Amino acid sequence: MSRIGKAPVVIPSGVTVTVSKENVVTVKGPKGELKENIDRDIVVTVGETEVVVSRPTEQIRHRAMHGLYRSLISNLVKGVTEGYKKELELVGVGFKAANTGNVLDLALGYSHNIIFEVPSELKVATTTEKGQNPKIFLEGIDKQLIGQVAAKLRSLRKPEPYKGKGVKYAGEILRRKAGKAAGK
Query: What are the E-state strand segments in 5-156?
Result: 9-10, 16-19, 24-29, 32-37, 43-46, 50-54, 84-91, 96-100, 103-107, 114-117, 123-127, 135-140
Cα 109 from Cα 156, distance rounded (Å): 11
At 137 the three-state DSSP class reads strand
166 sits in which H/E element: strand 166-169
Indicate the domain borders of the chain: 3-81, 84-169
pLDDT bin (cut points 50, 70, 90) of residue 183 is: low
Decide if domain 3-81 falls under CATH 3.10.520.10.
Answer: no
Say whether pLDDT at 156 is over 90.
yes
CB 181 within 8 A of CB 164: no
pTM given for the model: 0.89
Side-chain-side CA neighbours of 28 within 13 Å: the count stands at 3
Q: In terms of Cα–Cα distance, which of 30, 6, 5, 2 is closest to 16?
A: 30
Architecture in CATH of 84-169: Alpha-Beta Complex (3.90)
pLDDT computed for residue 178 by the predictor: 87
